[in-house]
Structure 1
Amino acid sequence: MSALLADVERRIASVHQLDAVVNAMRGIAGARAQQSRQILPAIRAYAETAWRAIAQARRIQSESPKPTVDRGAPGAPVLVLFGAEQGFAGAYPERVLDAAASDLPLAHVFLVGARSVALAGERGLAAAWQGSLPSRVAALPDLATLLLDALNDYLADAGAVPVTMVYPIWTPGQGLKIIRRPLLPLDAEAFPASGSGPVPLTNLPAADLLARLVQEYAFAQLSEAAAEAFAAENEARMATMAAAKTHIDGKLAALQLEERLTRQSEITAEVVELAAGARFRAKRG
């Protein structure tokens, strides 16, 4: 075997190895995206339950005096940005940051996703709080809890400043879309006091009950945003790996053609050499 043919075969083996890696990454991303889609209905049902409970609790609050609290000058508004945890997802991490670029310098930023944190640092933007997007859907509620605790700590000093979530969603056939949703304070118009019959009996003061229910609702909203971001990143990675697979298939086909042509050229050269040798021996005989 010639050195040229051996080199082509080594390159083919390398492409096969890369193909196996790409297929594995695509499969893992697909499984994770599916898992996150499966938990979204439960998260939304939980948020709906909290929404109904807040509407009921407002009936109690409407009959109770509302205390006034002086918090002084308000702090900076909060932006909770769900970005990308890892690479190999094409332009997805940059697009998420670009969508919130105008808000980042002015807000108290809670940034989720190690890859987005690194990209923000390259742009000279520092997050006030940063965290990782888990690699398992089972850990997403823990992330929502950490975010909510950090938000509560900040709001205790900053006052009732607006808190906005920015997170990506992935729609089949349409691709990536960035969602901007207000989180806190809750819009009273969105939670009209509702319910028929007697006012529910509670063991907590109306203000405390409502505050706890608001926390539950905020937790549900953060969990939903985290699950959507988790799914979107893995969907983007699947799309990137699919494009890489197409490129690899094209490269492999070209190398296999080169291998056949090289092998054919070597066989032809060998036949010509044998024929020349036979003619030379015939002339001497």
Structure 2
Amino acid sequence: MTERLAEIEARIQGTQQLGAVVNAMRGMAAARAQQAHGQLVAVESYAASIAGAIGSVLEVIPARDAGLSSASAGRALVLFCAEQGFAGAFSERVLDAASAQMQGVELLLVGSHGLTAATERELRPDWTGAMPAQTQGVPKLADRIVEALYARMTTGAIERLDAVFSRWQLGLPIQVESRRLLPPDLSIFPRQTKTAPPLVNLAPAVLLQELVAAYLHAQLCDAALHAFAAENQARMETMASAHQQIDRQLSALQAIQRQVRQEAITAEIIELATGELASREAESGS
């Protein structure tokens, strides 16, 4: 009985330690998701400023003279999958959503855990990168993606880019979004009719290409931050589910512990009572 009680107490201790680890992971995921959401505001504001500048330049240069690529050229697809585990089917949902777009494209994949999921589907990305552990590393990740893209664009391999990533909004489940990044849809840029054209130090076509490059970088940062936040939100949900399961298991073990203790106490009382009775019978016999 004592050995069984010690075994149960050891299992309870192990379960409590596992619960502490799960709570810590849940807290880290919550902090990272909150940090990413805060930085998204700044990135979206920056992208809106660039979009306004592009709209101003388009007022003085016809779209046909902008020198932007044709959407009918070679395509690239960048997927933002999970970097770490314990995020449920996060990567699988991204891969499922992008499956119809993968035919004949240059595939760029972000996320080490997502690469494992892609390999299981016999996908061979042309470029891979890790999602940074902190949001401060997102701009460098965007730099690496842009470098990989431009290396392919200079050879004429690709002229079009789409991004597939997850995003989370309060009160809604995580959604997978597909966004066209290159060539940009010029109709989305705000146009402002002005009495005088903007003052520029570059040729309008060159300036437009520079602004489009900056806008591409901002959009990649935006997609990466959304994916970063969504992955950590998914991890929070997974850890919350694990925490509930641990609580149920702990309650069951504690109930068994109380039962075993009661059985041990009952057995000890019976043993004492039996010993006392035997002692009295021995005294009576003498």
Q: Which TM-score bucket, shorter chain as reference? A: over 0.9
Q: SS in structure 2 opposite 1:115?
A: helix
Where does residue 82 of structure 2 map in the other structure?
84
Kindly tell me the number of residue pairs found equivalent between the two proteins: 282
How many Å separate the matches in 2 of 1:106 and 1:18?
A: 45
Q: Give CA deviations for 1:164-195 in whole Å, capped at 9, x if unaligned.
A: 11100112322210001110101222236533
Where does residue 210 of structure 1 map in the other structure?
208
- The residue type equivalent to 1:245 in the other structure is H
- The residue type equivalent to 1:220 in the other structure is A
Let me know the Cα RMSD of the aligned residues. 2.1
Q: SS in structure 2 opposite 1:61?
A: coil
Q: Would the aligned equivalents of 2:67 and 2:205 in 1 still touch at CA under 8 Å? A: no
How many percent identity over aligned positions?
42
How many Å separate the matches in 1 of 2:249 and 2:101?
A: 43
The structure 2 residue matched to 1:263, chosen from 261, 264, 277, is 261
Q: Give CA deviations for 1:194-231 in whole Å, capped at 9, x if unaligned.
A: 33021122221111100000011111111110000000
How many Å separate the matches in 1 of 2:14 and 2:69?
A: 67
When normalised by structure 1's length, the TM-score is: 0.93
What 5-or-longer segments of structure 2 have no aligned partner? none
Structure 1 residues 211 and 16, CA, compared in 2 at 3 Å: closer, same or farther?
Answer: same
How many Å separate the matches in 1 of 2:69 and 2:175?
A: 39
How many Å separate the matches in 1 of 2:204 and 2:146?
A: 22
Structure 1 residues 206 and 101, CA, compared in 2 at 3 Å: closer, same or farther?
Answer: same
How many Å separate the matches in 1 of 2:254 and 2:4?
A: 13
Counterparts in 2 of 1:96-175, with a 5 A limit? 96-158=94-156, 161-175=159-173
Report whether the alignment pairs 1:49 with 2:49: yes
Q: SS in structure 1 opposite 2:128?
A: strand
- The residue type equivalent to 1:239 in the other structure is E
Where does residue 198 of structure 1 map in the other structure?
196
Q: Would the aligned equivalents of 1:110 and 1:128 in 2 still touch at CA under 8 Å? A: yes
Q: Relative to structure 2, which stretch is displaced further, 244-253 or 53-62?
A: 53-62
- The residue type equivalent to 1:3 in the other structure is E
How many Å separate the matches in 1 of 2:158 and 2:249?
A: 57
